[in-house]
Amino acid sequence: MRLFGRRVRTFESFREPAFSWFFVSTLAQMYSAIGQMFVRSFLVYELTGSYAAMGLVALVGGVVQFLLGPYGGVLADRFPKKTVTQVFQLVGFLNAFVIGTLAIFGILEFWHLLISSISQGVLVALMVPARQAMVSEIVSRERIMNGVALNTAAMNIMQFAAPLIGGALLATAGAGVTFYVMAGCYALAILTMLPIPTVAAQAGQGGGGPREAFRDIVDGFRYIAGHRVLRMILLLSFCVSTLGMPFQGLLPGFVQDAFDAGPALASLFMTFSAVGAFLAALIIASLRRRGRGQLLLLMGAAVGAATLGVAISPWIWLSLPIMIFMGIGQAGRMTMASALIQEQADPAFRGRAMSVLMMQFALMQGGVFVLGIAAELVGIRLAVFVVASALLSVLVVFGALSPTLRRLQ
């Protein structure tokens, strides 16, 4: 594509027909996944009025993700990634359908939402490594960063739309209808995966039991430990996820506490963040492959600075634009890390490398729990201020002591 006489690389991956179907499937699935997280978080706070309860719901899902995440990488390397993805999309459909039914009959309780979080943790742990690694099978190597960025853009469109639509549905139609719509989106995600060709597994033929799976996990960690670039990218991602991402898990409660607002305004905060994330994904899709290590560090710093800004801002009109920069940092860092890992990792280990990257979301959920406890003790603003300051300090250390990242192209 050319614009004003210059070649624009932004949408190159759509030249691959399979990627177009993959993009639509991502839109449907991410609407349901992000919408469930937002609505579930709001319902927990509404039922309990407790940040600690919100943190507990996030923690149980995170623990499941952390424990099962490496097995998700093994599944992605042993079995066709498309098959793994569709099986767990079905799990997502059932999860949303059951919660919707409980809400329709007026018997939804806190512990139901706790179990729902566990179910979603299983889904994320065992499906996401395969789904994310599919990009490198659908597009050519030189388009991996572009494909990953566009896939991230689809996710960020739903970060924009899902809280907005979910908040509106929750306020007007109730939790039951809201979760039924999310179940329908999972069904659509399954159907739109059907035209995508199935690619054979890169490692093994799907055989072996738990012992062999555990050996595959150990081999994957050894491979990563011996690969300096992968090791540094993952370490940085874990630091940002632990310190920079938990705030968004408490955002519905933060907005209610700080601005005395309901789900509509909370969804607006998420919407502004998603706008920034969408812009970041499109920009990265258009970039050439150089200076990406420095950009990775810069995006992490944007997360820390934006989180710090929201923590100290007393005005909604100032906090909302800051959320745009938070979205830019989060999406830019995640997109860049995912693309670099898929480029750097050997195909036989790509699923396991991606599963380790996805474990950052488990760390984030643990961070939500810790931040929730801290918010109960010292207040949400002070707790967020401290973790944002810690993140910026860690990034300064990375920038000063890691030439591997600074020089990474």
Q: Which of 1-10, 25-34, 81-90, 319-328 is predicted least confidently?
A: 1-10
Mean pLDDT of the 74-81 span: 82
> Which residues are CB-neighbours of 297 under 8 A, at least 6 positions away?
236, 395, 398, 399, 405, 406
Say what the pLDDT of residue 191 is: 92
Which domains does the chain show, CATH number per domain? 10-198+209-406 (1.20.1250.20)
What is the amino acid identity at position 370? Answer: V
Distance CA 297, CA 314 (A): 28
Say what the pLDDT of residue 282 is: 75
- H/E segment holding residue 323: helix 316-344
pLDDT reading at 1 higher than 70? no
Residue 407: DSSP 8-state: T
CB atoms within 10 A of CB 214: 14
Nearest by Cα to 202 from 320, 347, 57, 318: 347
| 359-404 pLDDT tens trace | 777 677 677 777 777 877 877 788 888 888 888 888 888 776 777 6
pLDDT reading at 152 higher than 50? yes
| 207-241 pLDDT tens trace | 556 677 777 888 888 888 888 888 888 888 888 88
- H/E segment holding residue 120: helix 110-133
The residue ranking higher by pLDDT, 202 or 335, is: 335
- % of the chain with per-residue pLDDT over 90: 6
Say what the pLDDT of residue 406 is: 64
Residue 7: DSSP 8-state: E
Say what the pLDDT of residue 261 is: 64
Q: Cβ(335)–Cβ(281) under 8 Å?
A: yes
Mean pLDDT of the 143-167 span: 76
Q: Cβ(199)–Cβ(80) under 8 Å?
A: yes
Say what the pLDDT of residue 61 is: 78
The residue ranking higher by pLDDT, 330 or 203, is: 330
Helix axes 17-48, 51-78, angle to 10 degrees: 150
Distance CA 310, CA 326 (A): 9
Q: Which of 9-13, 234-238, 277-281, 340-344 is predicted least confidently?
A: 9-13
Confidence of residue 183 (pLDDT cuts 50, 70, 90): very high
Of the chain, the end-to-end C-alpha distance in Å amounts to 25
Confidence of residue 204 (pLDDT cuts 50, 70, 90): low
Q: Cβ(337)–Cβ(237) under 8 Å?
A: yes
3-state secondary structure of 203: coil
Say what the pLDDT of residue 93 is: 93
Q: Cβ(324)–Cβ(275) under 8 Å?
A: yes
Distance CA 354, CA 10 (A): 24
Residue 186: DSSP 8-state: H
Dihedrals φ, ψ of 6, to 5°?
-115, 145
Q: How far is CA 64 from the centre of its chain?
A: 15
Nearest by Cα to 367 from 246, 286, 257, 190: 246
Distance CA 183, CA 187 (A): 7
Q: What is the pTM of this model?
A: 0.69
3-state secondary structure of 80: coil
Q: What is the mean pLDDT of the chain?
A: 79
Q: Which of 113-127, 186-200, 283-297 is predicted least confidently?
A: 283-297
